[in-house]
Amino acid sequence: MPDADDTLTNALRRRIIDGEFAPGTRLSEISLAEKLGVSRNTLREAFRVLSEQGLIEHVPHRGVSVASPGVADVVDIYRARRYVEPAALAAGSPLHPAVTAMREAVEQGESGLEARDWRSVGTANMAFHDAIVALADSPRLERLFRDIAAELRLAFLEIDNPEALHAPFVTRNRALLETFLEQGGPAAAAELQDYLVLSERTVLGAFTRLRHD
Amino acid sequence: MPDADDTLTNALRRRIIDGEFAPGTRLSEISLAEKLGVSRNTLREAFRVLSEQGLIEHVPHRGVSVASPGVADVVDIYRARRYVEPAALAAGSPLHPAVTAMREAVEQGESGLEARDWRSVGTANMAFHDAIVALADSPRLERLFRDIAAELRLAFLEIDNPEALHAPFVTRNRALLETFLEQGGPAAAAELQDYLVLSERTVLGAFTRLRHD
DNA sequence: CGAACTATCATTGTTGAACAATCAGTGCCA
DNA sequence: TGGCACTGATTGTTCAACAATGATAGTTCG
């Protein structure tokens, strides 16, 4: 749920997340401005925003390129997730509106699994964890997670084995939701810790298997 | 330790944090650009960055103004701090380089207290907590804290009773550091929890005492 | 032959002026 | 008094130009 306005920034953001520009791709001001039908100055403003969000990297006098998260980034992203998500879940109330979003995300993941639409499964997984963070009712933590989730999507794009990446976690999401509702936040938080460790290991495994750097 | 480059953005950032523009002040593009000796376009790019960092608020077609954190913001900021700082301290190693920074911050706070230089005490306090977050070795959490700390400074500016705000925490910082070194991370984390609750109460108290909204 | 140097070129950084789009305040009118 | 068009100011955006920087390629010299 990124800020609805800022049309250009969000359009560019979506394109990047959707993989239209592969991670690491250099984004030329002139050609991209022409492609998007905006002026260089306007495009540069959008660049500054996305750069601050970590979606693109800006090297002075060398332009911007789509971020291409490495192993260190994935490790850091999961470290931050472990700081935030379990604590949010532990303190979250089962009556919180975000629980509805959690449930919907689980169901959407299940139907995506059935249709073997891994892309949709990945989106549902992210929505599930976004809902967990929303339990904390903290705009600032939500912003952090939004940025982190976007970076993670770029990492997923690099891996390009969506089934192994997303499919295993649909049933885990369902189980986590049930634990949360039936046994309460702290029990679910413990389960989420293991969940995140496994998820990180999955991503890192696919990463190092792909390119050795 | 904000990104060293981006001279204009950082210059503006520092001016805002230093209170040159009071919270809520409207920042006119034309006059400010003239004042800083840059063009409107360049200034707008800096605006986008600072807006993303939460230091200024941007309302479309109505310009930007210096953020003026309210009670809800302070509450949220402390919520986020409680998520991050105690956990970082609990898992931190006494051998981490950031411990040196913690020690230096404590000493700087003590000498500031002696000189009754509350401004310097406030800076030292922030540096202390910044060092705590640095224990986690997480660039993304550090970025979160950097933004949060800047917002908090704006809230402090609004209150304008620096002694009550900063002085009580110098001895607490010293005590917290000793607990961390002598009794370990988890004990220090518990102490920090209470510390943050007290700090939040101090800020909120001064806030509601000042303006009832 | 290879390495260092230099010239060229493309791209980014920044500016200034211009105009459209929108908001805020004013005064008019019913 | 309450709504309404009008006006002025500010922001949003574009364009063209130039300076500053980095990358490339070609050249020269050891």
* CA to C1' distance (Å), from A101 to D11: 37
Is B136 part of the contact surface with chain A (CB cutoff 8 Å)? Answer: yes
Q: Residues 23-52, chain B: which have Cβ under 7 A from strand C? A: 37-42, 45
In this model, does residue B213 exceed pLDDT 60? Answer: no
Question: What residues 2-41 of chain A have any CB closer than 8 A to a CB of chain B?
Answer: 5, 41
Q: Which residue has the tokens 């891996």?
A: A159
Other C-beta atoms within 10 Å of B201: how many?
11
Q: Token digits for B20?
A: 């040159």
Report which secondary-structure segment, H or E, holds A197.
helix A185-210
In this model, does residue B210 exceed pLDDT 80? Answer: no
Q: What per-residue confidence (pLDDT) applies to B101?
A: 96
Other C-beta atoms within 10 Å of B97: how many?
11
In this model, does residue B187 exceed pLDDT 90? Answer: yes
Q: What per-residue confidence (pLDDT) applies to B185?
A: 86
Q: Are B67 and B54 in contact (CB under 8 A)?
A: yes
* Residue A61 Cβ < 7 Å to strand D: yes
For residue A5, give the chain B residue with the closest CA. Answer: B60
Is B146 part of the contact surface with chain A (CB cutoff 8 Å)? Answer: no
For residue B5, give the chain A residue with the closest CA. Answer: A60
CA distances to A109, B11, B69 from B151, rounded to whole Å, are 38, 16, 7
Q: Model confidence over B100-159: pLDDT tens digits?
A: 999 999 999 999 999 999 999 999 999 999 999 999 999 999 999 999 999 999 999 998
What is the residue-level pLDDT of chain A in tens, covering all 213 positions? 444 567 899 999 999 999 999 999 999 999 999 999 999 999 999 999 999 999 999 999 999 999 999 999 999 999 999 999 999 999 999 999 999 999 999 999 999 999 999 999 999 999 999 999 999 999 999 999 999 999 999 999 999 888 989 999 999 999 999 999 999 889 999 999 999 999 999 999 998 887 644
Strands (E), chain B: 26-27, 56-59, 63-66
3-class DSSP assignment, residue B212: coil
Q: What per-residue confidence (pLDDT) applies to B1?
A: 45
Distance of CA B119 to the CA centre of its chain: 13
Look over chain B and give the mean of its residue pLDDT values, rounded to a whole number.
Answer: 93
pLDDT, mean of residues B4-10: 80
Whether residue A141 and residue B83 make contact (CB cut-off 8 A), yes or no, is yes
Is B139 part of the contact surface with chain A (CB cutoff 8 Å)? Answer: yes
Report which secondary-structure segment, H or E, holds B67.
none
CA dist B35 and B23 (Å) reads 19
In this model, does residue B84 exceed pLDDT 80? Answer: yes
Q: Residue A88: list chain B partners with CB under 8 A.
A: 83
Q: Residues 62-91, chain A: which have Cβ under 7 A from strand C? A: 62-64
DSSP of A54-121: TSEEEETTTEEEE----HHHHHHHHHHHHHHHHHHHHH--TTSTHHHHHHHHHHHHHHHHHTT-HHHH
Q: How many residues does chain B have?
A: 213
* Residue A41 Cβ < 7 Å to strand C: yes
DSSP single-letter state for residue A26: E
CA dist A82 and B138 (Å) reads 12
What confidence tier does B5 reach under pLDDT thresholds 50, 70, 90?
Answer: low
Q: What per-residue confidence (pLDDT) applies to A211?
A: 63
Q: Are A65 and A27 in contact (CB under 8 A)?
A: yes
CA dist B129 and A61 (Å) reads 34
Is A96 part of the contact surface with chain B (CB cutoff 8 Å)? Answer: no
Q: What per-residue confidence (pLDDT) applies to B160?
A: 81
Q: Residue B84: list chain A partners with CB under 8 A.
A: 83
DSSP of B111-154: HHHHTT-HHHHHHHHHHHHHHHHHTT--HHHHHHHHHHHHHHHH
